[in-house]
Each structure stands twice: as structure tokens, then as C-alpha cells.
Chain A
Amino acid sequence: MEKIIEILKGIHPEVDYTTESGLIDKRIFDSFDVVTVVGELMDEFDIEITAEHMVPENFNSAAAICDLVKRLEEE
């Protein structure tokens, strides 16, 4: 979780990731931000995130991203 927040802070340092749950829905992250985050997540955790995973529910909060990463790591 800490590592994920660090990656997210590297895109938008001003967001409080412990409470924010609308990263995509509120367009806090635009598509370019998303690509950057996903690229860094894949490198950091050695996972593959595909188009099927890229739905707002999986990226709206740090917690949701954390869940996704955990799921993919177990696969």
C-alpha cells in the first residue's frame, strides 16, 4: 500500500490517497496519468495489467488499486 501511494504521489502529490475514492470518476487522474501509474505498477510489482482490468472501479482509490495489484500478484 505504501509503495502504491508513493507511486500515486509521484503523479498528483496534492491528493489525500487515504480518503479519495474518485480518482477516475472525478477525473483527478486523466488518461495520461493512468498510463503512467499503470506503467510504474507493472514495473514495481512485476504484474501485467491488461485492458480488462482498466475499469474505473479498479482505479478509483489507492485501496482499489492495492486490491487489484494483490489479485494480480497471486495469479
Chain B
Amino acid sequence: MKTNILEYLIDAAAVSPDKCAYFDEQISYTYKQMLDGAKAIGTKLINRLNVKCRPILIYMDKSPSVITAFWGCVFSRNFYVPLDTDMPDVRIRLIVENLKPAAVITNMAYYDRVRQFSNNVFVFEEMIETTVDEQLLAGRMTSSIDTDPVYVLYTSGSTGVPKGVVVSHRSLIDYVEQFCNEVGITEDDVIANQAPFYFDASLIDIYCTLRARGSMGIVPLEYFSIPLKLLEFLQKYNITTIRWVPSAMKMVSTFKGFKSIRPDKLAKIIFGAESMPTKVYNYWKENYPDAVFVQIYGPTEITGVCTYHIVDRDYSDEETIPIGKAFKNTEVFLLDDEDKLISRSDVVGEICVKGSCLALGYYNAKEKSDEVFVQNPLNPYYSEKIYRTGDLAKYNDRKELVFVSRKDFQIKHMGHRIELGEIETAVMALPGMKNACCVYDQDRQKIVLFYESDDYDDVSLIDALKNRLQRYMLPNVTKKTQDMPLLRSGKVDRVRLKEMI
């Protein structure tokens, strides 16, 4: 039994040392090179940082090198925390304050920027030159246990402070094993990575590739705006597998891209992180009638994926594709408002999850963790944690789970998980802002912000927000209003607002 995720790397480098592991349009690393790089970084970290099980921020542009930085942290028995290099300073400070990282690894080009946030900055280009100390690394590896954290991924927080989800080796190993087995990722697979590394959607790409000893290519971000380039990439690198958000797949269907290029090796098409418009699915299915299509579902708090549905029948454009059933070694169930188990079809309840996939909680945020990582209300006899997702679902007649909606004000916008409260907090932090409330226009997929202020107009407001929010959180529509509709409690009446869209 594996107890450290790096055992896969060591295996891969022993069995297939010269195989191309991770590549982009610029560089390509073999498994041996990935291992050597990770060991160099690990050696440097152990020599220079006398800590274990502490967070190390990774502030680097996406490339295969980033993955060696991740694994260097893990070799030193610390855990990595990837950050979006486009993140505004205000949000980085919130994360640094919460995380208090032991160090930051960055590219030379970002050194001065990163120094503003940490006194302990390592430059990747220098670290990678470190002479490997095998004995030192072996000592750390042997001491590690599978409940040590591997990574922390930050996700939107409703109070304005991002939440860092802490995931252990055990959860990640469980995820990789179950996923590769059920979906069948093999060494012949070449995965085209779309998701940023600071989202859990990239875990399949990075870790299923590693476990299967396959290959993973990073698609340049700008190709997702130019469908022909995107499809050329898939064709050129013989891509067999994609795990993309539906918004990215919509890029191809909107432009009827397969009329121009139909990459002929593509055989496994995996999607999740937001609901898949069945129309988009049907376009892909028509063009790839023999491919395996898999819808997956799961929040970051349970290591990214807990249910899957291998699409096995036709869906009309109006039907919803189910999120399916739980992976092996994971239990997914629905609880009603009184915490009673739901087993009948068509009754809506909250999705709850238990198993080794459960994260260790939110970093340095016990109260927030305790709200959602709770004792199983169905089990008063021994300690058994479940995660309450806040997602609502029901069973269809085939006993498959079907996603319905959210319990709260979390939205999925273009594949990103966003708390509307985080946007509102950022707006209210602007001087001279009197009131603000966000609603999501699901049909048109737009974040709509209503605000009351004498100091801002639509243009200056968005400009000010750019310093506080990541671009995918910026409202698409802003509506200045003189009198915000209120409930008796004094809170903004969101139902009325939705009618005003």
C-alpha cells in the first residue's frame, strides 16, 4: 500500500525513466527528469528550512517545472500551495495572513514582487541546480505518514477571506487509485491539461498521468480563445484524454470546431466542475460517437471528485446528465432538512460525503471547518466525519444522483467556484460604497452587481475591483441603484433583485 504520493513518481522513474511525462509547447520532461528536479528542490528545502508539515507557497507561471516544485516540497515533507500569478495583491495578502507560509518558491522574474509577501523566497531556477542528497531525502520520506498534507488549495470564502482546503497523501492516493481504475487511464494516454494548477480539476491531469505513467501536455491558455489552435494542439500531440470544464468544451461547439479539425486520437472526454449544457455534450458526442464520456462531480473539500457517470445513453438537449454514483471507497448520500437519510427518487436533499477522500479541513480556520466537516448525524456511536457539500441533488429512477442547485450563494461561473459574498465584501470595502448585493443570472451566465454609491460609476467601480478580485469574479453587469430593495430584517431582498435583472 502506498503511503506517500511520491512513491508513484519513484516507480515511474524506475519503470519508464525516459518516457515524456509532462510537456508544453516549450519544454518536455521525462519521468527521470521530473524525479531529479523534485529531488534537487527537496534537498534545498531540507537544507535551508528546518521545518516539517508546513506550507510552501508556489508562485510560478504554469509549466511542467511547477510540478517539480510541488514535488520538491513534498520530498521535504512539507506541502505545496499553488497561487494564481494573476491574483491581485489584496487577495494574496489575505492568503499569506491565513497561511503564514514557511517559504515561497517563485521564478526569477517574480522575485521582487514575491519579496513583498515573504522574507523567505527561493528562486526556482537556482534551486533546480542543487546537488541531490539522497540520504537526506530518504530520511524525510521514511518519516512521512499518509495523513500528512500534500497540498492546500484556496477557494472562495463567503466572508471575503479565501479558504485553504488541506488534503493529505491518503486522500490523494485514494482519489488517484479509484479514478484510474474506474475511468481507465493507462500509460498510452496523453492528457491535454486545461485547468489551472491552483484548481483541483488539474489533479486528474497531473496525478492520473503519474500513476498510469502516461503523458500530460499543458495547453497554452490563449488557445482556449482560438479554437483552431486548440484543436491543432490536440491533433499535434496525439491527445487521447481531456478533463475540461464544460465552458472550455463549449468553445469548440459554439464555433463548430470539428468541421475544421477533428483530432483523431481523442477517446476519453471527462467533464465536471459546473453543469454541462446537454447541447454542448451532444455536439461532442456526434463527433466522437465511440469515445467514453464521463461526467464527474465533487468539491475541493473531498479531493475534487466523489461521483462519476459514464454516459451510457442518449440525452435530449433539455435533459440533465446525472452526476451518477460514488467512486469505490467513497460514500455519497443525501440528507433532508431534518438530517434524515433520503432514499426515494425525486426528493431533494444535501449531498454529503464520507470516506478517505475527506480533506483535513480548512487551514487555520477551525470554526469554518467545524461548520461543514461534521460528525455523521446518522451515527451517534463512534467518531465519523462527513463533509456537507451545500449542494442539493436528488436520485432519478435509475438511482443515479442528479445535481439540482446550491443551498447558499455559491455559484459556478465559467468553471470557477465563487462565493457571491466574497464579491460583495470586496465591493463594500471600497470607500464611499453604501450598499452592494450580487445575484447570478443563471440563464445568461452573468454575475450581476447592484450597488449604491455617490462616488462610483460602472467604469470606476470595475477598475477599483480589479485590485481586489480575480478577473473571473468581476461582475459582468453592474447596476447602480438609489434604493436597494430590503427585507424587513434589513437584509437585501435578493428575490426582488433577481426580478430586476
Residues of A within 8 A of B (CB): 10-14, 16, 24, 27, 29-32, 34-36, 38-39, 42, 48-56
Contacts and interface: CB of A to CB of B under 8 A. Distances in A.
B256 A13 contact: no
Contacts of B228: 51-52, 54-55
B255 interface: yes
A39 B254 CA distance: 7
A39 B446 CA distance: 13
A52 B215 CA distance: 29
Contacts of A51: 227-228, 231, 252, 255-257, 259-261
B341 to A, nearest CB: 38
Interface string B208-229: 0000000000000110111110
Contacts of A24: 225
B260 A50 contact: yes
Contacts of A53: 255
A26 B227 CA distance: 18
Contacts of A38: 254-255
B interface residue count range (under 10 / 10 to 19 / 20 to 34 / 35 or more): 35 or more
A56 B255 contact: no
A30 to B, nearest CB: 7
Which 10 A-B residue pairings sit nearest by Cβ, starting from the closest? Answer: A31-B224, A14-B462, A32-B414, A31-B225, A51-B255, A51-B227, A51-B257, A51-B260, A14-B459, A13-B458
Main secondary structure of the interface of B (DSSP, over half): helix
B320 interface: no
5 contacts: A27-B222, A35-B254, A49-B255, A51-B228, A52-B228
B250 interface: yes
Contacts of B430: none
Interface of B: 221-222, 224-228, 231, 247-248, 250-252, 254-257, 259-261, 414-415, 445-446, 458-459, 461-463, 471-472, 474-478
B446 to A, nearest CB: 7
> Could you tell me the dominant secondary structure of chain A's interface residues?
loop
Nearest to B461: A14
A31 B252 CA distance: 11
A24 B231 CA distance: 18
B226 A12 contact: no
A68 to B, nearest CB: 13
A31 B471 contact: no
Given A38-B255, A50-B255, A12 B247 contact: no
Given A27-B222, A51-B260, A54-B225, 19 more contacts: A13-B458, A14-B458, A29-B225, A30-B225, A30-B471, A31-B224, A31-B225, A32-B247, A32-B414, A35-B247, A42-B254, A48-B256, A50-B256, A50-B257, A51-B252, A51-B255, A51-B257, A54-B226, A54-B228
B430 to A, nearest CB: 14
Contacts of B261: 51
A75 B475 CA distance: 36
Nearest to A38: B254
A36 to B, nearest CB: 7
Nearest to B415: A32
Given A10-B477, A29-B225, A52-B228, A35 B250 contact: yes
A51 B255 CA distance: 5
A27 B227 CA distance: 15
B476 A10 contact: yes
A42 B254 CA distance: 9
A37 B264 CA distance: 29
A36 B476 CA distance: 11
B19 to A, nearest CB: 31
A31 B231 CA distance: 14
Nearest to B475: A13
A28 to B, nearest CB: 9
Contacts of B225: 24, 29-31, 34, 54, 56
Contact of B251 (A12, A16, A29, A31): A31
